[in-house]
Amino acid sequence: MPELPEVEIVKQSLDQKIQQKKIKKVIIKNRNLRFKIPLKFEEFLENKIIKKVSRFSKYLILNFLDGSFCLIHLGMSGTIHLIKKNNLNKFTNTSFYNSPNLPKKHNHVEIQFKDLKIIYNDPRRFGFFKFINNKEDLLNRFNHLGPEPFFKTFNLKYLSSYFLNKKKDIKSFLIDQKFVSGIGNIYASEILFLSKISPTKQAMKLSKKDCKKIILFSKSVLNKAIKKGGSSIRDFKDTAGKTGNFQKEFKVYQRENLNCLRNKCIGKIRKIFISNRSTFFCNTCQK
């Protein structure tokens, strides 16, 4: 599933290519995504001019010149492919998930511009599109989500008060979007390793020092992943032919039974399941 860094890469690709462009035509081939696409969705989008493409958490946002928005969530398997007219570029995927080229099946939404088009592909159909009339409605749509790790509100005061008397493990909190937006399963394991905190540790037992480490490494891990182009579990390339290679930086994720990479640590990387998600950690240096 695309996490914050991967969605940020898609956002950057789209913003560079479709900013200030007018939508000429919208074709819906399958309305049955996570939420059914309404019948008048095409009318809402056609002739809109894209002011910019932005992102919040794992959501892409098409910002239109008239003050309305289109929210896009990639779900578990969604990818956006960019097709230029008269261009035989073999890489069409704006992200690093699934096929680098446009697949023949599961192309559900097509948004056409004068000289290019973007196509939404989603085999599992857990993603969705939603038209939003104004900024107030957009902000209300995110009311249930916690701050991103990059926000000033993701601070020691916030963590300390949120964790008060909470017996749930810290790994479950890091992948809980109500607590913090954008951190997913891969990055939660990496953040906790760098923080030297066991994923099973109860949130209420975290010290102020622990919380400071979580804040610090949440920002640094995600920033590094964005700079590295995200984590491509498979070696695929985006529209520019670049690879997402943060997976080469993994300290614990998918390193089960291998030696800990921390200097002078004699531990082994173990895999357990927390909240039905695979969790990787060092059995020695993470306390």
Q: Catalytic residue numbers?
A: 2-3, 58, 277
The count of C-alpha atoms lying within 13 angstroms of the C-alpha of 101, restricted to the half-sphere facing its C-beta, is 5
Residue 121 CB burial class (10 angstroms; 0-12, 13-18, ≥19): buried
Q: What is the 3-state secondary structure (H, E, C) of 113-165?
A: CCCEEEEEECCCCCCEEEEECCHHHHHHHCCCCCCCCCCCCCCHHHHHHHHCC
Cα 94 off chain centre by: 13
At residue 83's C-alpha, the angle toward residues 82 and 85, to 5°, is 145
Please choose, from the candidates 70, 66, 47, the residue with its C-alpha nearest in 3D space to the C-alpha of residue 138.
Answer: 70
Residue type for position 248: K
Determine the Cα–Cα distance for residues 57 and 229; give it in Å rounded to an integer.
16
Residue 144 CB burial class (10 angstroms; 0-12, 13-18, ≥19): exposed
Query: With contact defined as beta carbons under 8 Å apart, do 230 and 9 qualify?
Result: yes
Query: With contact defined as beta carbons under 8 Å apart, do 47 and 264 qualify?
Result: no
* Residue indicated by tokens 């032919």: 241
Partners of 93 in the β-ladder: 81
Handedness of CA 97, 100, 104, 108 (dihedral sign): positive
